Structure 1
C-alpha cells in the first residue's frame, strides 16, 4: 500500500522482536544485524561461495586443505624385514602426480577443499585391467550417489562430459560425516550456516556503517508539513544538507528550522560489535574443530597454550583426517584383501619448518639404533655417506642390560667378573 506517495510494506517482525524466538538464538541476532546492514548478510542464503567470503571460513578451509596436501604420502609393503617403501607406479601416483594433468598436492588440496565445503571429496580411479593408471578428481556437485541392494554407485554428469556410472570400488570417497541414510553427507558450512550467516551480517553492517562515514541511521524529528509535497520537501532539505556536509568534509551542517536528527539503532561500540565478531571467529573455528590460534585469533594466546594447541591440532584433527584418507585409499587402491600393500602419511612432515626439533629427533633416533645415519640423511634429502658405517645401526657403548657387567675394557680395566690373569693376584697382594 502507499501512504503520502511512499511504498509502505506490511509489518514483518524481525526474529529479535518475535516473542517465540529466544534472544540467545543466532537467528534473532542475525535478523537484527540484517536490518542494520541494509537487507544483506544473514537474510541471504548461506552458500559455499558466500561463506567463503567470511575470512575465518576461507582461512579454515584453505589451511586444512593445504595442510593435508602438504603431508608426505608414501606407499609401503609388509615384508619379513618390516615395512618397505614401494617404488614405481603406485608411489608416483600418490606422491608425485595422480595423472598427467594434476600434481599430488593439487589433487589432494582439491579433494579436501570439497570435503570441507561441499561435505564430500571424490576421485575416480582409472584402471587398465588390474593395473592402476591414474586418479582423477570429481566435482561433488555433479555426482549423484545411489544405494541399490546395499551397494553404492556414483553417477557422474558434468557439463560437456558423457555421463558415466562408477562402482564404489573405483571411487575414493571422503565424506565430512555420513548421514543416517549412509549416502548423503553433512557439510560443515551447511550445518553451521547460522553462525556463518551472523558473521556475514555483522560484516555487511560494519561495511555499511563505515561507508556512510560512521553515521548510523537517523530519524528526522520535528513538525512535518501537512500534505504529501510538504513531507517530500522536508526530507529532501535534510538529505541535501547531509550530502553537502559530506562532500565538504565538514563535521557541522545546518538543518531546517524546528527539525532535529536522532540516531536510530545501537552504537557498534555499545553493542560490543568487536567482541561479537571475535566470538564468531571462535564459533567458526569450533565448527571445523580448529584451535582458534590457526585462524589468527591470539586474543587468549600465550606461548604455552599456543604450543599446546599445535599439538592438539596434529593429534586430534590432522591425525584423524590422515587415518580416514589412508584407509579409503588402501581399500579402493588395493582392495579389501590386499597383498600387504598400504599408503601412509608421514606426520613428521609437519615439523619441516622446525629445524632444531627435527635435527634433535634424528640424532636421538641414530643414537638409540632406530635409524642409520644414511636413513636420517635420506630424510633430509642428503646423499648417502661413503663410509660403510653410515649404513649400520649405532648405539652408545655404555648402555647395557640391567644387572649385567660392563663390557670388557670398561673404564680402562678388565671386566669386573673376569678371573684375574696370571700374576695379577700376586701383584695385588704385594
Structure 2
C-alpha cells in the first residue's frame, strides 16, 4: 500500500519541483543589478541614491529627455514600398495603421504619445518595449510596456524571452510578441539590451542632486552658513536651553532672514561651512548642467543653458542646432526605423517595405528655411508645384502643369527641355526667309 501511495504521489512531487524551479528562476536574484536598481536605485559617490524618479527631478535631465522625445515624436512616420526603377510608393497597410502618424498604436494613445514614450524610455533606461498584439497575422496594436518592468532573458537553451513583471507576477513573453528598441551599448555588457544613461551617469546625476540639495538648504537657512556659538564658560542644561531660544531659534530658517541677534558675555560665532561664493556653488551647478547634457547627447544651448561667453542667438547657435539634429535626433530615428523593419515588417516577408520619419518636418516652424527648401526642390525638378503645395497643406492647383516636374528655365516642363518654343521657331523662319545663316552669325559673335 505504501509503495502504491508513493508511486501515485511521484507525478505530483515532480510537478511541485518543476514549479518551484520556475518560481526561483523568475525571482529577483542578488546579482540582478537592473532589477534591484529599479527598486532601490544606485548610490552615487556624492551619497545620493539615483533612481529614475529622482533623476527626472533634475531639471537638466528632464529637459534633455523631454526635448528629444518631443522632437522625434513630432516627425511624421510613414510606410513605403520600394518598387521598380527605384520608385517609392507610400503604403497604407495594417502596420502603417498602427505605427503611422495617421494611425492608432493602441486604444489609449495617439501616435505622438506612443513614440514620445518610446523615446523617453530609450533615453532613460536604454531600452523601450511594447507588446505586439496581432489578429491572425496582421498587427492590430502595440501596447507599451514599462522598461522598469521588463527585461530580456536568455534561457538555458539559448531562447530569448522577455520577462515582464505584471502586478507582482512574472510572465515570459516570446521574442516575436515584443517590439524592442535598443539604445546605445548593446554588446558591451549584454547583446540583448542597451545601456541605461541614468545608470551609467549615476555619479554625475548624484553630484547634481547633492549640489541642488545643498543650495536648497542654504536658501532655506536664509543664506547663513552653519556654525557654533562659542561661550567662555561651561553652560548647564537650563542655560543651554535659554541660549538656544535666544540665539539659535530666532536666526534659523528663511523666514527669519535679516534678523538680528545679540552676542554678550564673550560669546563668539565660529563658522564651520563655506559660503556659496567660496564653495563655487554657481560654477559647480553650471558644470553639472553641461556634464548631464553630455550623457544625454544634447547641447546645453538646446535646453536654454549658454556656456561662458556664448551668445543665445546667431549662426553659431544655428550650427549647434543642426549638429544636435544630425548627431542626436537622427540616430534615434534610425534606431526606431531599423527595429520597425526588422521586427514588424520583415516577419511579413516583404523585404522592400520600410518605415521612415519625415525629417523635413523639423523645418515646419522655420518659414525661411522651409521656403528655401521648397523653392530648391521645385526649381530643380525634384518636386512638382502640387507636391510643394501639399507640404503647406494647401489645395491642389488646377493648372495642368502643376503636376509636372519643372526647372528654373522659366518653369519649362522637363519633357519640353531642348524643344523650340513658338517664338524661337518664328525667329528661325524669319532669318531663313531673309537668308541669314544662324550658325555663321554665331561664329562671328564668337
Same fold per superposition (TM over 0.5): yes
Give the alignment partner of residue 328 of structure 2, picking from 317, 321, 325. Answer: 317
1:113 aligns with 2:124: no
Evaluate the alpha carbon distance shift between residue 426 and residue 49 of structure 1 in structure 2; reply closer, same or farther with a 3 A threshold. Answer: closer
Alpha-carbon contact 2:389-2:396 (below 8 Å) kept: yes
Q: Where in structure 2 are the equivalents of 1:306-385 lying within 5 Å?
A: 306-335=317-346, 337-385=349-397
1:266 aligns with 2:271: no
| Distance (Å, rounded) in 2 between the aligned partners of 1:311 and 1:246 | 44
Q: What displacement does 1:366 show?
A: 1.0
| Distance (Å, rounded) in 2 between the aligned partners of 1:409 and 1:391 | 21
Q: What displacement does 1:234 show?
A: 4.1
| Distance (Å, rounded) in 1 between the aligned partners of 2:120 and 2:408 | 47
| Distance (Å, rounded) in 1 between the aligned partners of 2:255 and 2:138 | 72
Alpha-carbon contact 1:170-1:332 (below 8 Å) kept: no
| Distance (Å, rounded) in 2 between the aligned partners of 1:407 and 1:103 | 52
Alpha-carbon contact 1:225-1:234 (below 8 Å) kept: no
Classify the secondary structure of the residue corresponding to 2:160.
strand
Counterpart of 1:21 in structure 2 is: none
Counterpart of 1:58 in structure 2 is: 62
Evaluate the alpha carbon distance shift between residue 68 and residue 186 of structure 1 in structure 2; reply closer, same or farther with a 3 A threshold. Answer: same
Q: What displacement does 1:74 show?
A: 0.4
| Distance (Å, rounded) in 2 between the aligned partners of 1:304 and 1:54 | 30
Alpha-carbon contact 2:95-2:344 (below 8 Å) kept: no
Alpha-carbon contact 2:379-2:406 (below 8 Å) kept: yes
Q: What displacement does 1:298 show?
A: 1.9
Q: What displacement does 1:406 show?
A: 7.4
Q: What displacement does 1:75 show?
A: 0.4
Classify the secondary structure of the residue corresponding to 1:335.
helix
| Distance (Å, rounded) in 2 between the aligned partners of 1:171 and 1:249 | 57
User: Which structure 1 residue ranges, 5 or more long, are not aligned?
Assistant: 1-29, 32-41
User: Which structure 2 residue ranges, 5 or more long, are not aligned?
Assistant: 1-43, 442-446
| Distance (Å, rounded) in 2 between the aligned partners of 1:426 and 1:379 | 49
Provide the TM-score with structure 2 as the length reference: 0.78
Evaluate the alpha carbon distance shift between residue 380 and residue 89 of structure 1 in structure 2; reply closer, same or farther with a 3 A threshold. Answer: farther
Alpha-carbon contact 1:237-1:256 (below 8 Å) kept: no
Give the alignment partner of residue 134 of structure 2, picking from 106, 109, 127. Answer: 127
Classify the secondary structure of the residue corresponding to 2:152.
strand
| Distance (Å, rounded) in 2 between the aligned partners of 1:246 and 1:322 | 48
RMSD: 3.1
Q: What displacement does 1:419 show?
A: 12
Classify the secondary structure of the residue corresponding to 2:192.
coil
Evaluate the alpha carbon distance shift between residue 382 and residue 92 of structure 1 in structure 2; reply closer, same or farther with a 3 A threshold. Answer: farther
Counterpart of 1:298 in structure 2 is: 306
Alpha-carbon contact 1:176-1:185 (below 8 Å) kept: yes
Q: Where in structure 2 are the equivalents of 1:271-290 lying within 5 Å?
A: 271-290=279-298
| Distance (Å, rounded) in 2 between the aligned partners of 1:246 and 1:142 | 42
Evaluate the alpha carbon distance shift between residue 396 and residue 183 of structure 1 in structure 2; reply closer, same or farther with a 3 A threshold. Answer: closer
1:155 aligns with 2:160: no
Classify the secondary structure of the residue corresponding to 1:421.
helix
Give the alignment partner of residue 92 of structure 1, picking from 91, 94, 97. Answer: 97
Question: Which stretch shifts more, 166-175 or 370-379?
Answer: 166-175
Provide the TM-score with structure 1 as the length reference: 0.80
Alpha-carbon deviations, 1:273-326, whole Å to 9, x = none? 111111111001111111111121123235122111111011111111111110
| Distance (Å, rounded) in 1 between the aligned partners of 2:126 and 2:378 | 43
Alpha-carbon contact 1:241-1:255 (below 8 Å) kept: no
Q: What displacement does 1:380 show?
A: 1.8
Classify the secondary structure of the residue corresponding to 1:384.
coil
Alpha-carbon contact 1:126-1:135 (below 8 Å) kept: yes
Counterpart of 1:5 in structure 2 is: none
| Distance (Å, rounded) in 2 between the aligned partners of 1:326 and 1:246 | 53
Evaluate the alpha carbon distance shift between residue 240 and residue 106 of structure 1 in structure 2; reply closer, same or farther with a 3 A threshold. Answer: closer
Evaluate the alpha carbon distance shift between residue 250 and residue 87 of structure 1 in structure 2; reply closer, same or farther with a 3 A threshold. Answer: closer
Question: Which stretch shifts more, 108-117 or 174-183?
Answer: 174-183
Give the alignment partner of residue 140 of structure 1, picking from 143, 147, 152. Answer: 147
Evaluate the alpha carbon distance shift between residue 304 and residue 225 of structure 1 in structure 2; reply closer, same or farther with a 3 A threshold. Answer: same
Classify the secondary structure of the residue corresponding to 1:166.
strand
| Distance (Å, rounded) in 2 between the aligned partners of 1:221 and 1:312 | 58
1:75 aligns with 2:79: yes
